[in-house]
Structure 1
Amino acid sequence: MTETTVISADEGSLLVLRRLLSSHKEDSCQRHSIFQTRCTVGGKVCQMIIDSGSCENVVSATMVSKLELPTVDHPKPYTLSWIKKENEVQVSKRCLVSFSIGNYAEQVWCDVVPMDACHLLLGRPWKFDKKTVHDGKANTYSFKHQNQRIMLVPLQESTAVKASPQLLTRSLFLKAFREATFGFALVILATNEAQTNEDTVVRDILEEYPDVLSSVLPSRLPPERQIQHAVEFVPGSVIPNRPAYQLRPEEQAELKRQVEELLNKGFIRHSVSPCAVPALLVPKRDGSYRMCIDSRAVNKITVKYRFPIPRIDDIFDQLQGATIFSKLDLRSGYHQIRMRPGDEWKTAFKTHDGLYKWLIMPFGLTNAPSTFMRLMNHVLQPFLYKFVIAYFDDVLVYSANLQDHRIHLRRVLDLFREQQLFINLEKCQFAASQITFLGYQLSAEGLKIDLDKVEAVRSWPVPQSFTDIRRFHGLASFYRRFIKDFSTIAAPMTEILRANQFEWNPAAQTSFEELKQRLSSTPTLNLPDFDQAFEVECDASNVGIGAVLTQGGHPIAYFSEKLSDARRKYSTYDKEFYAIVRALQHWSHYLLSNEFVLFSDHEALRYLCHQKKLKARHAKWSESLSAFHYVLKHKAGHHNQVADALSRRYVLLQTLQNKVIGFEVIRDLYTEDADFGNIWQQCLQGPFNLFHIKDGYLFFKQRMCVPNCSLRLTLISESHEGNLAGHFGREKTIELLCENFFWPSLRKHVGRFVQNCQVCKRAKTTSTNAGLYTPLPVPSSPWVEISIDFVVGLPRTQRNKDSIMVVVDRFSMKKKKYSLTFTF
């Protein structure tokens, strides 16, 4: 029986074509609902409807324009009158839309029509071609795709948008507003019931601290605490005096207003300081302005602090066992710290109206983050890393259960009250089972990627320059601990950075798309439990090394590193050894004080501790490993799949690129090819059986079809005797080649090539069993039986001798040596 794969809607931010003023909750009943889901088109998440009443497949003209999808003339143009009621629509274009829902990918010809109902509408043609079966009660569609049973399920209550005759679009609202003297817009937002319930659990505690949870900062200076901000200039520095920036009249008025507000609060004073830097206004998203100080000249001559900033990884390591979280955010945290008396003149800034100095710590000073971190560590020191952690103005309270959490939250708020620190209630979250903190989602299950943050990576356009590659790589690297073999996957892109000229190639495009896909389906990483044993699995390939840290079979973190050109020349033994060394160095803070199990799929590494003689490189590595307490176990590659999957496909593509001008040449061969010519013509009209066209290439399932040309021989050669292979046998070569390529006589061609391989014939000669050995009899006395051996090819002596004959008495084992001249 064929197993059915249930596919739900794709996740992510929906492609916006027209924003709505109201958002209605979906009726949970499917009785009156049409089938709605979400698919991915061109890297964007789009709204899709399946409608059996539509006689055509339809795509939104606005989406086609926004995603720049190619269109062709419609072979049979026609007129529609039901999409827009006001006028008829002439349908003259169509588009081959490539979309995917989960692991179901399809190409469908759609008519390009202006519509607002959705981005993509599949009608009778798609249902007919896929032979779909509709379950009316569950509102699901089932069909067979590539020998697999697929079931599409509709959007759930929290994600679907219910069609409503009262839905008001932006254009209609503006039109109605222009025709009226005045108007109102009511925006209906769905309430977050889960968040409301979470806050209710600790509401009684929050009501006890109205002074700490103040809506605004008090109009007075902060108290004189032990931690104050100091500014120390480098001895002999020239005091800066920069002119004020030229501002527009309205900007001058706004700057004057903000300065007067700070004067009234007592945060600044008039000054006659010899040090002066200009003030300026920076626009906010809402159109208002924020006053900023250009402190670059002051920062240049300031002595820099070296106060340690906590590592994010170290922060998360403390959260093992926590199930309840509260996130606190300080209100204008910098403005809650006073300047050290006597240093105020160093913060002076000028406007068109005068010179002022700060009495509180302003934004923009070079040592301000260190001072703020010192204050948070000082205030929270009694409970730091017990049930509270701080990263600048973000404070996280964590507990194993709700009862403890209420106690912990009270203790933290008591510390803030004692130090007169104020919290921004609007940015806080209390008693949550899942919370977003520092770009990650925390829960009892472990650590996840914040989907809002990673959306920037998923929607990143194809890099067009070296700078674009560096930006994308830096953004994706933030979440590299979630991505297995990150360095290896990114290797084709980083290789481009080494070239003198930017040239985007297919391998880099594959790497780019693979990283975006991996970020969309990252696993949940467990938080480390130091009471359990750690396990480290390591592996190496010709591209890079990889490792995974686990506990009880659940991943905690991934590590990968791209090998340099010099290290790629290492032997397999050295690469595997190096992978172990780098993995243990990377996770030394987990492993140094704990015993752990170390797995490797290289058998020889099991005996590294018992080698009598070591190379210099091995001696250095062995010395670094001696600090760890581990048990080394062998794990075969097919069992060590996590660390073993080191992007070997990239090696094959890289090798082929060096020997073949490009795969572009085969695009022109499909039409006249004996094997694929007819199939190519069928696929021009749409997918045919298991064949389809993508980017100008013909594919059978997910494997590229190779026409009858010299490229077939090159592919076989690389799979059998290239850098990736080691003169594999017939079946293994076929298995490696069939991962990516297809042609009808592939197995026969590979068998013929392997059979005629001269290297295999010399190295893999077969021999018959020679039978049992017959031991020689023991001699009865010395020099009765002797054995003779020759040592030849030695440097020639002055007496023209270049060989030695060794005679051994088999009774006494006494040896005699005679110098000889090699004569043949």
Structure 2
Amino acid sequence: MAPRKTNPDDHPDDLRHTLEAFTVGLQDALKAAITDALHAVLDNQHQGRRTTRNRDHQSESSDDELVDNLFAVRDQHRQAQRDDDQEERQDLVHNNNTSRWESAFKVDIPEFSGSLNPEDFVDWLNMVEEILDFKKVPHDMRVPLVATRFKNRASAWWTQLKESRRRSGKPKIESWERLKKHMRRNFLPYNYERTLYNKLQNLRQGSRSVEEYATDFFQLVSRATLLETEEQLVSRFIGGLRNQLQLALQQFNPSSVSEAHQRALGLEQQFRSNWSSAGSRTRLPQSQNQLSSSPSPDEQQNRSRDDKPSPPTDSIANSRIPRTGALRCYSCGENGHRQTACPKMNRRTMLAHDTEFSSEPLFDDYGSDHDNDGDIIEGDTGPPSNILVLRRSCLAPRAGTESWLRTTLFRTTCTIKGKICKLIVDSGSCTDVLAEDAAKKLGIKTTPHPAPYPLAWLDSSSELRVSKQAVVPFSIGKYHDEVSCDVAPMDACHLLLGRPWEYDRDVLHKGKSNTYSFVFGDRTVTLLPSPEKVEVSPSTVTPRAEPQATGSSKSLLILPKAAFETELRDNPPIWALISSPIVTTSSTEIPPAFTDLLDKFSDVFPEDLPLGLPPLRDIQHHIDLMPNATLPNRPHYRMSPQEHDELRRQVEALVLKGHVRESLSPAAVPALLIPKKDGSWRMCVDSRAINKITVRYRFPIPRLDDLLDQIGRASIFSKLDLKSGYHQIRIRPGDEWKTAFKTREGLFEWMVMPFGLSNAPSTFMRVMNQALRPFIGKFVVVYFDDILIFSSDLKSHLEHLEAVLLVLRRDKLFAARQKCVFGSSQVLFLGYIISDRGLSVDPSKVEAIKSWPTPKSVSDVCSFHGLASFYRRFVHHFSNITAPLTDCLRSSSFTWTPEANQAFKTIKEKLTSAQILALPDFSQVFRVTL
């Protein structure tokens, strides 16, 4: 039997159940897939946030919860988003607050013009570094930002540097460190680091306070790139202190420079307190010892190590506490006995003593620990060049260490217009007095006294008339004041302060200590007297005085032969004094009308040229060598040992100034010494070999007659002479090796223009003409380093002189004041005497011509003819008169003919009686007669 076929339509319920089951399964699969996908997306989006916020517990939710509540994770996502938004808002508020805080400080990079001295330039670099770090300037923006602050020379240098690197194919300077390297190479002297290390190595406290010494120490350390440990710096700091402080610091063993600094300050304050309690007994013997004995070896060693020569002073910080274990006589300087028991007390020797002075004013500030928070001030000190007069002292022992306070007026020293002057305070004087000689030497302006009166010294027989007065500014340490004084002849001191000064300042005088105290500003000032020095004066030493009838010659400063020989053997050397008046010429005196102007421009007249190189001007000295020329290499000259020492000394001085440096040049010429008229030596370089291969410039040198014709009818003249004018001009960078010269010590090259180069005169005239071009031909004529200023009246002359001095200050050109002449009616210029009457010959040259011997050779005739030709304008028909002399020069053999002898005598007569030639005034019509 066959099976029966089944028809699906026969079972509709089964089909429906199958479809429903399939639909349910499909829905479950889709639901599971969607849930898994949603989990993956949400986990990827919030994984970082869950990690940072420690929300791991949210990820542990069960699958059932996710399936039953699909919005649970979405709510968590919204909460996390809100937390992120809140954090971003807090960060924004913090950044805004930071920006607002930074914007409250107006900090900007200072401008840089390229004309700072080395110390200021290094400080500028450090300041820029701090500002860049403070502003958080990105590294790639630092160079463009700093470059915007370049001005003048610095801007030109930066532009030239970028252009040169572009032409040579080098990359741009984008690193701030690289820019600093280039700037240091260009704006710092080549030996700056070495000089800085030398200063730090030789830094000593000397007579300064600890605070002043520490200030210099920290400045040098900050500028020098030292790779030293803290212990090494501590050792360096302590090694520069005075021996007394070094020994005291050993017990503390400081571990840092700051600790050593604070310890030294405390010890210094302690020494001051000890001195204050001990009174003047600690100071006076030391001062006496300066006069009667030489310094100890320790003091000599300290003095040689100081930056500046610091002779022994009786400053508070340097005073030593007396020790009972070692007795020392302050009269003879020997140990083992006191001054009162000195066996040599009966001898008196008259010696010359030039008082030594330290390099800076000496004062002591006691701070808050001292009564009334005041200053105790001693007299000013200074280098010997600043002393107004030479003080001569007679060494004589005193009976006691304090007896001089009982019998001596208050004497000290003060500073008046940069000069150290003697000062006396005398309460018995009814007026304040300025010495008449001091007023003249210091250039203090005096005015007529409104009520002239007679002034008597002790008795009426020594009466004198006071008819002038002056306002005198003076200073003693920190105390600066000015007082109205009467001007009178006086040799006891330069400035005498009497009752008017005591009344105006409400001065309190303490008789036992002989000190004067008063309130000045907001501080109490106490002036200390200088230790006694027995002055040689007519009152103490009377020439040719006869012994008294009693036979006592104790008051006479005279020694017998045997005693003098003993003195010479025990205390050499002994100097013989010869007194002679100082003769001053009118050419060196400065008229009162020019004093204020010259004081205003005192920086144009320094004692010496500043250390380092002169500024790099538009005009430098170029040395262009001929193509394919052979470079010279000459050996140095043989010299005596003394000449070698002098040459080495001068070269070392030039190296110290920065004018010369060591060289590796392939070319070299020898150096030599030329004697001067005063017996000293001038170093010269034999540059003939290098001049032969140098391309010559053709810049015109002015003619003397053209210069003299420009003066016209002027009546008042001033002459300025530049100080070492050639050394104020730089060698073009890159040409220094062409100036190399040899000595026995090595090879050196010039950084400034030396003497002897072929184009040096042309370069110097170019510099002077460029600087003074607006004035040349109007009221100025220039011939190399001589500048002549001429005017028709005093008022215009002062204006002209001020204009020239302003130009010299602007261009950093310095003059030698001792060689200058101001406001004179006649002046020696280029071998001529120029005056308001005209032109005349130099009397010294006339005397040389007058005493000229009869020529014996052709060279003698040539020399005389050359000197006479210089003044040919003063001799009518000069060529006709000197024709026989010219014939002597033409002949092959020397023949002195009667005609030549007559011409020789005629020229001498005419030049010795030459008339004054009137200078032509080209603004007027005149006739020239031949």
Q: Which has the higher helix share?
A: 2
**Structure 1 length-normalised TM:** 0.43
Say which structure is richer in strand.
1
Question: Normalised by the size of structure 2, how large is the TM-score?
Answer: 0.38
